[in-house]
A = this chain, B = another copy of it.
Amino acid sequence: MSEELTGNILVAQSGGPTAVINSSLAGVITEALNHECIEEIYGGLNGIQGILSEDLIDLAAESQQNIRGLRTTPACALGSCRYQLKSAEDFDRLFQVFETHNIRFFFYIGDNDAMGVAQKVNAQAQQRGYALRVIGIPKSIDNDLAMTDHCPGYGSTVKYLAATIREMALDHEGMGQHDFVSIVEVMGRNAGWISAGGTLARRRNAPEDPPHIVLMPEAPLQPEKFLESVRNVLKKNRHCMVVAAEGLTDINGNYLGANTQVKDGFGHAALGGVADYLRTLVEENLGVKVRSAKFGVAQRTAAHCASLTDADEAYACGQAAVRHAVEGATGKMVALVRGEGEHYSSETTIVELSEVAEAVKTLPAAWISEDGMNVNYQFNKYAMPLIQGEVQVPYELGVPKYVVLECHFIQKQLEAYQTEKQ
């Protein structure tokens, strides 16, 4: 047990939104109220970038309804960023903000990039002798963070996609007498967890159910084999349903749908053209009609079809972060550990930020079928528990009612600061 530390919390969100990232935020806020060593609960707007601008709000001033509502509200209630801390000026400024507002507990909810930021902040704090506890809280619909059984956000994304794919499959089964191919393009830049999740749409004991083909970054596309596989499916069915990850590559590692002119704040290529690539490939070679769908950001924010297991685990991760920080941990990320029993259970633990930052966990090769275009029962056993249970969102006037924070701003005490354009 380390020495007692007293002061304020700062929590912020980074990277792409999820259906349950706000549930983690609610977990942090709720747990913080249990600890006397925590004085104020501040939220940083727009991630580390907003913190540099001293854009802080008083989360303890939000209504109880708002905090409860966060548990079912998708996207980033605090706003997000993809900003990376690089320059010495940025770090000086950050610790100026921390010191001015007596920030002693810093929680960063995000993916592996965010864990890299958190790790740097922790290292700097130690270097500067500034008493600070830094804990990362995982979120990733991509499910590609190392050292955790799975990532909050993933279960909800694949539940929504699996439900939608089952509905689309019914549509396809009902339609027409002609062969056609249906392509669903899903997120997943470096790993095929989301594509593979599409297979959860299959009914119990119905391995022949759509989707028939699953394309993942772990198995680069071999066009001839793919077309052969489509042909085989069409021999048996009127339609062939394909789920393809946006990050699918050719055998040389080139993104098949890359729009190389656009890069995000972390320098990653903007993706999004795999469905178009595959459509052309199929139409030109097989001469059958192709339908495509691309859910864009809807797949990461579909709280109306979120997994209760996922939302509850996200909340638990937020709570655990606070408990561990109060107990003295720093430079760690909360991780989920799966129970050994026959029935699914999970608990939280902490792992080193350094082992998570910038690492990417891909699908185990043994879970991917030999032809690289499907996953086996091991994936099903892993993923099925993560989509169980339905979050009940409140509705108002026919559409989900989500929380918007009141945002009680904390008085700025520092001069304005210009973050760099990244």
Q: Is the CB of A80 within 8 A of B164?
A: no
Q: Which chain B residue lies CB-closest to A73?
A: B170
A81 lies within 8 A of chain B by Cβ: yes
Contacts of A348 in B (CB 8 A): none
| Cα distance, A200 to B398, chains bound together (Å) | 8
What are 22 A-B interface contacts by the 8 Å CB criterion? A73-B170, A74-B170, A74-B171, A75-B171, A76-B174, A80-B174, A80-B175, A82-B176, A159-B399, A163-B400, A167-B400, A182-B297, A272-B291, A291-B297, A292-B294, A293-B294, A293-B297, A295-B295, A304-B304, A387-B398, A387-B399, A388-B398
| Cα distance, A117 to B81, chains bound together (Å) | 55
| Cα distance, A388 to B78, chains bound together (Å) | 30
Q: Is the CB of B307 within 8 A of A305?
A: no
A298 lies within 8 A of chain B by Cβ: yes
A360 lies within 8 A of chain B by Cβ: no
| Cα distance, A265 to B177, chains bound together (Å) | 10
Chain A contact residues, majority secondary structure = mixed
- CB within 8 Å of B: which residues of A? 13, 16-17, 46, 49, 73-82, 159, 162-164, 166-168, 170-177, 182, 184, 200-201, 204, 262, 265, 270, 272, 289, 291-298, 300-305, 307, 384, 387-390, 395-400, 402
| Cα distance, A76 to B387, chains bound together (Å) | 26
11 additional contacts (CB under 8 A) given A79-B174, A201-B399: A17-B170, A81-B176, A162-B398, A163-B399, A166-B402, A200-B399, A293-B297, A295-B298, A304-B304, A305-B305, A384-B398
In the complex, how many angstroms separate the beta carbon of A68 from the nearest chain B beta carbon?
Answer: 17
| Cα distance, A184 to B13, chains bound together (Å) | 26
Contacts of A201 in B (CB 8 A): 399
With contact pairs A398-B387, A399-B387, A402-B170 given, residues A289 and B301 touching in the complex (Cβ less than 8 Å): no
Max chain B Cβ within 10 angstroms of own Cβ: one of A49, A292, A298: A298
Contacts of A402 in B (CB 8 A): 166-167, 170
Contacts of A289 in B (CB 8 A): 262, 270
Q: Is the CB of B171 within 8 A of A300?
A: yes
Q: Is the CB of A302 within 8 A of B167?
A: yes
| Cα distance, A402 to B307, chains bound together (Å) | 18
Q: Is the CB of B293 within 8 A of A298?
A: yes
Q: Which chain B residue lies CB-closest to A19?
A: B167
Q: Is the CB of B293 within 8 A of A168?
A: no
Q: Is the CB of A167 within 8 A of B398?
A: no
Q: Which chain B residue lies CB-closest to A273?
A: B276
In the complex, how many angstroms separate the beta carbon of A11 from the nearest chain B beta carbon?
Answer: 15
With contact pairs A303-B167, A305-B305 given, residues A390 and B397 touching in the complex (Cβ less than 8 Å): no
Contacts of A262 in B (CB 8 A): 289
Q: Is the CB of A164 within 8 A of B204?
A: no
In the complex, how many angstroms separate the beta carbon of A311 from the nearest chain B beta carbon?
Answer: 13
Contact for A398 among B13, B77, B168, B307, CB less than 8 A = B307
Q: Is the CB of B301 within 8 A of A296?
A: no
| Cα distance, A221 to B300, chains bound together (Å) | 31
| Cα distance, A387 to B204, chains bound together (Å) | 32
Max chain B Cβ within 10 angstroms of own Cβ: one of A78, A164, A174: A174
Contact for A168 among B176, B272, B298, B389, CB less than 8 A = B298
Q: Is the CB of A398 within 8 A of B159?
A: yes
Q: Is the CB of B75 within 8 A of A296?
A: no
Contact for A304 among B78, B171, B305, CB less than 8 A = B305
| Cα distance, A168 to B175, chains bound together (Å) | 29
Q: Is the CB of B301 within 8 A of A170?
A: yes
Q: Is the CB of B291 within 8 A of A204?
A: no
Q: Is the CB of A390 within 8 A of B395?
A: yes
Q: Which chain B residue lies CB-closest to A169?
A: B75
Contacts of A396 in B (CB 8 A): 204
